[in-house]
Chain A
Amino acid sequence: MNANDNLIRLSNGQVLSKETIDGDIATINFGPTHPATHGIFQNILTVDGEKILNSVQTVGYIHRAFEKLAERRPYNQITPITDRLNYCSSPINNLGWHMTVEKLLQVKVPKRVDYMRVIIMELARIADHLICDSIIGVDTGALTSFFYPFSEREKIYELYEEMCGARLTTNMGRIGGFDKDFNPVFHAKLKEFIRTFPAAFEEWNGMLERNRIFMDRTKGAGPISAERALAYGFTGPNLRAAGVDYDVRVMHPYSSYEDFDFIIPVGVNGDTYDRFMVRQEEIRQSLRIIEQAYNNLPEGPFHAEVPEFFLPDKKDVYNNMEALIYHFKIIMGESEVPVGEVYHSVEGGNGELGYYLISDGGRSPYRLQFRRPCFIYYQAYPEMITGSNISDAVITLSSINVIAGELDA
């Protein structure tokens, strides 16, 4: 409260004069179990009528101690944990972890593995953006926008199932590459997906993109400027919606991303409509990358030679002593890595997902820290909603795509 009795200063710097407020100040608990908070976060809002004056957050309702759990598990067995970070796009987390360990082992993977990884990661990115944007639609009241993308996600799930057997928490790939190549069913399904997805996507997109009601609701809701977004450490679609074109795939390319031709969509205002539009355009760009990668898929092995981490063929295990020993060591989790520390980051579905790995030469990491973008976005949430209505707070929360599993790790 300002010294001047007639003015009230809000936490985002906005100043309201006392005539504009209703003087009807209440404290509302928004969460942790609330249909509109996607995941469990609690916000205690101080509202004046409908206008939010202040908000205090509590997180940690799904803290599962990933970092401590990773110190116990051997390197192969950490992949299922990384699944559960941003579980809407789990292959990106898995493959990012494998790339981190490969960096530590200084292993170069074949080109075919790079392209296969790009295809899987871009499919995961499409899946993540489909969920996020459909939920923005649901929160503005368009419940139909939930059903259309979810049937497209089923197609992506079928592609995952061909590669790893699971739908959601995929545990995809191995350190050094993949455990199996693309089989004919995968090829057929991927071709079908590339052929039919654009039309299905445009049908759903057309319901929301130029929809008068949707635009009125989302334009101007939860804005953040580029300077504040940078100070808060934003990356990914939320930062690109504010106008800054930072993309880890372009600044520090990994897994042969420099071979592909794609544009980085950038917004103007950093409000909910821009975040929605940036994600929609990224879906189109991801499909473009998948087409390029699939059409130019090079021949070659589908894994690198990393015998300490990659299971040998079963016929070798039964006939060859060395393969038997490697098999035993890998399954029991006794493979060792060199001493060192690396930091590797990938462009996750939601921003720069980083892995900071310190190894002391043993069978499990000494310290593994995840740089989780959702944790960083949620800190900026009070600044984005102060001064707006409660309904705008709801769609702002769904548009910054905070996934509880990644926020609390």
Chain B
Amino acid sequence: MQKMTNSALAEALNSLLGERIVTSEELYDTLVVEVSSADAFSVIETLKLDPKLSFNFLTLIGGVHYPENPGRELCVVYHLHSWKNAIRLRIKAYLPAENPSIQSLTSLYETANWMERETFDFFGIKFENHPNLTRILNMDDMDYHPMLKEHPLEDGTREDKDDRFFGR
């Protein structure tokens, strides 16, 4: 049961972080907050160490690709969870498509290690100070990042399936 309401959380974030929050809105049942990519690490560190909020659990790190937003094509989404208050928080940081790079959370949460490798593998987002930023799920010699919207789902070289009949 959620022990703290989203509006109480929004107020607490405002008083704790103030200007560092770019936008904040409540979507469906979770508070979603945007921060700048340079600031993301220290914001999350503050949230983790704050005794009242204490976001002790990192649920998920993911990436999203928005090819139509120039300058903000890639987005890194952090899902945090505070067990003390039984409340979730989503933090987004936008990155440009050329040379996207953001500070890694591995020193705060050990679980961020593989999640960031997966995000790098799929989107090409580089995480600074990551102990081992290499591909994890795809083959090592793959030269593109498959989850970007411009790449197709199917392997173009397959000859047994005719795209005309498959509605592609």
Interface residues of A (CB under 8 A from B): 59-60, 63, 65, 67-69, 71-72, 103-104, 106, 228, 230-233, 246, 251-253, 258, 340-343, 345, 352, 354, 356, 358, 366-367, 369, 371, 375-376, 378-380, 408-409
Nearest residue in B to A380 (C-beta to C-beta)? Answer: B110
Residue with the highest number of chain B CB atoms closer than 10 Å, among A69, A343, A352, A379: A343
Closest CB in chain A relative to B123 CB, distance in Å: 11
Q: How far is the CA of A18 from the CA of B62 in the complex (A)?
A: 43
Identify B77's interface contact among A340, A356, A409, CB under 8 A: A356
Number of inter-chain CB pairs below 8 Å: 92
The 18 listed contacts between A and B (C-beta, < 8 Å) are A63-B138, A68-B146, A68-B153, A230-B56, A231-B109, A232-B110, A232-B111, A233-B59, A251-B1, A252-B1, A341-B27, A341-B32, A342-B29, A343-B60, A356-B79, A358-B64, A369-B60, A409-B137
- Chain A binder among B12-20, B36-44, B82-90, B157-165: B82-90
A231 touches B28 (CB 8 A): no
Identify B137's interface contact among A59, A341, A345, A352, CB under 8 A: A59
- A-chain residues with CB within 8 Å of residue B90 when the two chains form the complex: 343
Q: How far is the CA of A69 from the CA of B90 in the complex (A)?
A: 24
Nearest residue in A to B56 (C-beta to C-beta)? Answer: A230
- Determine whether B144 belongs to the interface, using a CB cutoff of 8 Å to chain A: no
Q: How far is the CA of A72 from the CA of B113 in the complex (A)?
A: 29
- A-chain residues with CB within 8 Å of residue B115 when the two chains form the complex: 376
- Determine whether B139 belongs to the interface, using a CB cutoff of 8 Å to chain A: yes
Closest 3 CB pairs of A and B: A233-B111, A60-B137, A231-B110
A369 touches B62 (CB 8 A): yes
Closest CB in chain B relative to A259 CB, distance in Å: 13
Closest CB in chain B relative to A192 CB, distance in Å: 36
- B-chain residues with CB within 8 Å of residue A367 when the two chains form the complex: 62, 64-65
Q: How far is the CA of A356 from the CA of B78 in the complex (A)?
A: 11
- Determine whether B5 belongs to the interface, using a CB cutoff of 8 Å to chain A: no
Q: A252-B1, A356-B79 are in contact. List 13 more A-B contacts (CB 8 A).
A: A65-B153, A103-B28, A103-B29, A231-B109, A251-B1, A251-B86, A343-B88, A356-B62, A358-B64, A376-B111, A376-B115, A379-B113, A409-B137
Identify B136's interface contact among A60, A233, A252, CB under 8 A: A60
- A-chain residues with CB within 8 Å of residue B153 when the two chains form the complex: 65, 68-69, 71-72
The verdict on A68 contacting B27 (CB below 8 Å), with A60-B136, A354-B60 known, is: no
- B-chain residues with CB within 8 Å of residue A228 when the two chains form the complex: 110
Closest CB in chain A relative to B44 CB, distance in Å: 14
Nearest residue in A to B65 (C-beta to C-beta)? Answer: A367
Q: How far is the CA of A376 from the CA of B90 in the complex (A)?
A: 19
Identify B59's interface contact among A230, A340, A352, CB under 8 A: A352
- Determine whether B94 belongs to the interface, using a CB cutoff of 8 Å to chain A: no
A65 touches B79 (CB 8 A): no
B109 touches A233 (CB 8 A): yes
A67 touches B147 (CB 8 A): yes
Q: How far is the CA of A228 from the CA of B118 in the complex (A)?
A: 21
Closest CB in chain A relative to B64 CB, distance in Å: 5
